[in-house]
Structure formats: C-alpha cells, structure tokens
Amino acid sequence: MKIVSLNIGQRKEQPWRNGTFTAIHKEAVTGALQLTETGLQGDEQVDTKNHGGEEKAVLILPSNAYMRFEISEPYGFLGENLTIDDIDEAQVCLGDRLQIGSVLLEVTQPRSPCWKLDALAADNTNWQTGKFLQAYSDSGRVGFYCRVLGTGELQKGQSVTWLTRNKDSNKDKKYPKITIQKLFLAKHKPSTDKDWCLLEKALEHPALSKAWQNQLMHLLQQRHP
C-alpha cells in the first residue's frame, strides 16, 4: 500500500443553499506536509463540529472509490486527506493502525457523508442531486477517520503498513473485529438484531471516537427508551 495522493483544502464559498462555506474539496500537493495531532499542515475545516479535531484528524479514502463511483475528478475531490491504494473498508477494522514513516494513525470511525459531498458531486459529475449520497452511503464504503498517535511528515508515494489491532497488549483483552463498512451500514440503516448487536459491541471499543459513541448511544436509547 502507498499514498497515491496527499490532499488539503481551504475554506471557499459555494453557491449551495444561498451561499455555503466549506473546505470539502481538497487538492493534491506534491511536497511533504507536516501532520500534527489535529491534522495536516494547511488543511482547513469549516464545520468543526462534524469534521477535524484530534479524533478525526485525517480522512482516508481508498483510491478505488473514484472508479467505483465513476468519479473522473482528481484525487482529493471527494474530500479525503490521504488517498491510499490496495485498502478497503470491507477489511479495515475499528482500531486498526496505519504506519507511514514516523506517522502512526488509528482508525476511529467511518466517515459520515453529508449533503455538501452530494452537492459537490451534482455540480461536477454526472450524478444527480441526492443520487450520489444515496449510492455512496448504501455501499458502506465511505472512507474512515483516524487519530494521530505519532506525528511526522507525509508525502505522496510513501509506503503504508497496515497493522490490525484486536488485542490490548496490557490486559490481553480481545476487542471485537468490526469493519468500517459493517459499522457504517449498521448505523446507517439498523434493521436487524445483528445490526444492533454490532453497534453495542462498537461502543465497547476504546478506539471509537466520542462523536460516534454519542451517536450510537442515542440510537440505542431510542430503541430501548
């Protein structure tokens, strides 16, 4: 695996809903960038409630997403910071780690795609309004966020080592292996006992972001008030 594109974005106004500021559209950079605990150097966030912060410092998307969803735009268009090849949300699990040089990342949650991503696709591709977001979400292959456990420089072409994590070395405790795809789909449209069980197991995982902890607890409380 390697980084095929390193992407950052700046705050820009879009015509959506009579004027919306967003930094969702990222553009590739050719040189190295410093990665801190809160994200890539030069990368801006507008909606800081739903994007960015230490538990969502880096958004990763497999490079094959562009082929899967018939997007011919350059990498970064879908809002990801790192475009990585040979990786898939059907295999990456909550709590897995990615080693890239001195940088160490930990998977904290699936991406939660919003209407701005759909508007971007509708404006620049053949997708009709509402259709892209539906197809993207229903696939469960939405990308994933990471927290930064080890800082350093990143650049295009760096090799990526995927470290699965299902054991706590201190307590010898096995954590449930929950793929990003299954976790997103269970939250997106929970319909079976298996979905609800998966959400309950995800809450037990120490890598899960606080944002998703709160959302899953709310869903479970609605089911069993």
Domains of the chain: 3-163 (2.40.33.20)
Residue 172: the pLDDT is: 42
Helix axes 180-188 and 210-223, enclosed angle (nearest 10): 40
pLDDT at 165 over 90: no
Residue 225: the pLDDT is: 58
Q: Which of 124, 122, 140 is nearest to 132 (CA)?
A: 122
Look up the pTM and report it: 0.92
Q: 115-156 pLDDT, tens per residue?
A: 899 999 999 999 999 999 999 999 999 999 999 999 999 999
Residue 176: the pLDDT is: 81
- State phi, psi for 37 to the nearest 5 degrees: -70, -15
Residue 196: the pLDDT is: 95
Q: Which of 144, 138, 149 is nearest to 191 (CA)?
A: 138
Residue 173: the pLDDT is: 59
Q: Which of 216, 210, 162 is nearest to 187 (CA)?
A: 216
Helix axes 193-203 and 210-223, enclosed angle (nearest 10): 140
